[in-house]
Structure 1
Amino acid sequence: MSFQNKVTIITGATTGIGKATRELLTGQGAIVYNLDVQKPGDDDRAGEFIYCDVRKKSDIVQAYQTVMNREGKIDMLFANAGIHLFASMEQTSDEQLEDLIAINIKGTFFTVREVLPYMKAQRKGSIVLMGSDQTFVGKGSSSVYGMTKGATGQLTKSTAIDYAPYNIRVNCVCPGTIDTPLLHKAVTHFASVNAVEEAGVYESLDTIQPLGRIGKPEEIARVVAFLLSDENSFMTGSLVSSDGGYVCQ
């Protein structure tokens, strides 16, 4: 796969899967912009950082304008930014509900919608949305998070249909349990709520995967890179599992 001089935007690329994808693509010649509320450390120089809160459409619009002013094009977008919540419906506060919808649904919607005019003008573009194994299946104590990822799957498919005439491909990567800061936060919360040891939670997460372990961010990054690449020229509207076999059970 060649990404030489491909102008790429990744939201939420300071940590986790976003960071792994940013590092992979910059290492292969892409010009990558990280749109995040958290700035990378001083020793992390892969790509360019632009402060952007995806809950605010104005931040997204301004970030895209900055990229266009500098580069004159946007070839690829990975709408990765998102948050997680471990809670049943009754345990979910109104504020938590609004926050998940604002980031996971509205943030993804605005991130994709605002790049489409640029890609339409180019008559070409590749977009990947961040889904989840919960795009396909339900999990306990995950009603609102699962709802947002189900919505992401449908957004992927409808947008792919609408923009295929413009040679814009839209796909969705659907990771399972991945070793990221988001997972660590969820495990800490789960262990606290259930009064169990975190080590035991991680062990159980390994054992329920058919491959016998949780995934690494770098493994998902390679899937995202393929979905973004020109090697993936006849694939759009697809929800792609990368979950150690979890949802095939």
Structure 2
Amino acid sequence: MNWKDKVIAITGATTGIGKATRDLLTGQGARVYNLDITKPGDDDTRGEFIPCDVRKVQDIKDAYSAIIEKETKIDMLFANAGIHLFATMEQTSDEELDNLININIKGTFYSVREVLPYMKAQKKGSIVLMGSDQTFVGKGSSSVYGMTKGATGQLTKSTAIDYAPFNIRVNCICPGTINTPLLDRAVTHFASTNGVEEAGVFESLDSVQPWGRIGQPQEIAAVVAFLLSDENSFMTGSLVSADGGYVCQ
């Protein structure tokens, strides 16, 4: 696919899967905008950074307006921003509950809702939401995180139905356990809460994957790029696993 005339917004693209996707698509010539609360380092100049907190709908509106003012269109959105938490219900504080819902559910909802008028006016668009293997299955010590990713799956399917008449595709990438700063923070929290060594947690994460290891951000970015692309012309409302075989067990 020729990416050189494509304008793409990615939320949370300073690190992890968002960054890997930004790097991949800018390398293909796309014009990528990173909507994140954290600015990339001075040596990271791929794409254009727009400060944005997805918990604040006005931030998202302002970011999209800035993109439209410069580019006149937004072809694609990867609603990637999210946080993780290893915790049972009793271990989850009210503050953690609110933050997970505000970022993973409301932030995703706002990011998609506010781009739809632009895509409807263009009569075309492609959107990918960040799901999880927990969009399909439950895991221990992940009650609230899993709840947010189950919600993301349903949001994907309903939105795909509603906006198919406008030639807007909506799909959901559902990674397994991926080697990102998000995972590092979650493992640190889990190890601290449960009094175990972080190295042991990482070993257990590797051991439960049929592929024998956790994934890398670049592996997920490649799937996201396909889901966003015009080559993916007949997929919408799909929840796409990229998890080393975890959910097929």
Q: TM-score range by the shorter chain?
A: over 0.9
Question: Which residue does the alignment assign to 2:208?
Answer: 208
Deviation of 1:194 (Å)? 2.3
**Structure 2 partner of 1:175:** 175
* Cα distance, 1:131 vs structure 2: 0.2
Paired position in structure 1 for 2:44: 44
Cα-Cα RMSD: 0.7
Which amino acid is the alignment partner of residue 130 of structure 2?
A: M
AA at the equivalent of 1:170:
V
Match of residue 69 from structure 2? 69
Q: Is the 8 A contact 1:177 1:205 kept in 2?
A: yes
How many angstroms apart in 1 are the aligned matches of 2:187 and 2:87? 12
SS in 1 for 2:110: helix
Query: Offset at 1:196?
Result: 2.0
Partners of 1:65 and 1:197 in 2: how far apart?
46
Paired residues, what number?
249
1:53 alignment counterpart: 53
- Please name the residue that 1:117 is paired with: 117
CA–CA distance in structure 2, aligned partners of residues 122 and 236 of structure 1 = 18
CA distances 1:197-238 after superposition (whole Å, capped 9, x unpaired): 222211111111000000000000000000000110000000
Q: Tell me the equivalent position of 1:79.
A: 79
In structure 2, list runs of 5 or more residues that go unmatched. Answer: none
Amino acid at match of 1:244: G
- 2-side partners of 1:11 and 1:176: how far apart? 19
In 2, Cα distance between the equivalents of 1:198 and 1:96? 21
Kept in 2: contact 1:129–1:172 (CA 8 A)? yes
Deviations 1:139-179 (A, max 9, x none): 11111110000000000000000000110000000000000
Which residue in 1 is equivalent to 2:195?
195
CA contact (8 A) 2:83 2:104 kept: yes
Q: Counterpart of 1:167 in structure 2: which amino acid?
A: N
Partner of 1:221: 221
Residue type of the alignment partner of 1:229: S
Give yes or no for contact 1:161–1:237 (8 Å, CA) kept in 2: yes
Cα distance, 1:2 vs structure 2: 2.3
Displacement of 1:83: 0.7
Report deviation, 1:195: 2.1
Structure-1-length-normalised TM-score: 0.99
Query: Is residue 18 of structure 2 the alignment partner of residue 14 of structure 1?
Result: no
- 1:224-235 aligned within 5 A: 224-235=224-235
- Where 1:232 maps in the other structure, the secondary structure is coil
Partners of 1:200 and 1:53 in 2: CA distance: 34
Shift of 1:193: 2.1
For 2:204 and 2:2, locate their aligned partners in 1 and report how far apart those are by CA, in whole Å: 38
Percent identity between the aligned chains?
Answer: 81
Is the 8 Å Cα contact of residues 9 and 33 (structure 1) preserved in structure 2?
A: yes
| TM-score of the aligned structures, taking structure 2 as reference length | 0.99
Q: Secondary structure at the match of 1:231?
A: coil
Q: Describe how 1:103-114 pairs up with structure 2 within 5 A.
A: 103-114=103-114
Kept after mapping to 1: 8 A contact 2:86/2:187? no
Shift of 1:113: 0.3
**In structure 2, how many angstroms separate the alpha carbons of the residues matched to 1:153 and 1:99?**
19
Distance 1:205 1:149 in 2: 19
Query: Are 1:2 and 1:229, in contact at CA under 8 Å, matched by a contact in 2?
Result: no
Q: CA deviation at 1:189?
A: 1.5
Code of the aligned partner of 2:52: C
**CA-CA distance at 1:109 after TM superposition:** 0.3
